[in-house]
Amino acid sequence: MALIYKIVTTQEWAAALATELFVGSAVDLTDGFIHFSTQAQVEDTAARHFAGKEGLLLVGVEEENLGPALVYEVSRGGALFPHLYAPLSTALARFALPLPLRADGAHDFSGIFA
């Protein structure tokens, strides 16, 4: 079972839990799909798009539970990234873990990907 990951703010995830659906962040809504990353991609995604930002969660979802709405498409540097063309049911989240900042401003994934 392969997990894919979404970085969200605690406020975004709280709103999603209230409705049981995550419809996406502002950039997801603009692009028309929910951006996910694989484990190999997520730390670079955090560094590029969320550097120094506090109050984030890392949401893990089993890709096989997302069905045909999940499409791997060429993105950054020609790599294939998982994109979800549907709202995400919060019930499908395996976890939503805090993504703390290290002293250098990068996010600490060590407790997640130990």
57-93: pLDDT as tens digits: 999 999 999 999 999 999 878 889 999 999 999 999 9
How far apart CA 84 and CA 34 sit, in angstroms, is: 5
Neighbours of 103 (CB within 10 A): 6
How far apart CA 62 and CA 106 sit, in angstroms, is: 25
Give pTM, 2 decimals. Answer: 0.94
Is 101 a domain residue?
no
Give residue 46's domain range: 3-7+29-85
Residue 3 DSSP label: E
Over residues 38-60, the mean pLDDT reads: 95
Residue 25 DSSP label: -
Q: pLDDT for 6-25, tens place per residue? A: 999 999 999 999 999 999 99
Closest CA to 57 of 6, 113, 110: 6
Q: Is the pLDDT of residue 35 over 70?
A: yes
Q: Is the pLDDT of residue 1 over 80?
A: no
Indicate the number of domains in the chain: 1
Is 106 a domain residue?
no
Is 15 a domain residue?
no
Is 71 a domain residue?
yes
Is 16 a domain residue?
no
Helices and strands, counts by H and E, the chain: 3, 8
Report the CATH number that the domain containing residue 79 is assigned in CATH: 3.20.170.20
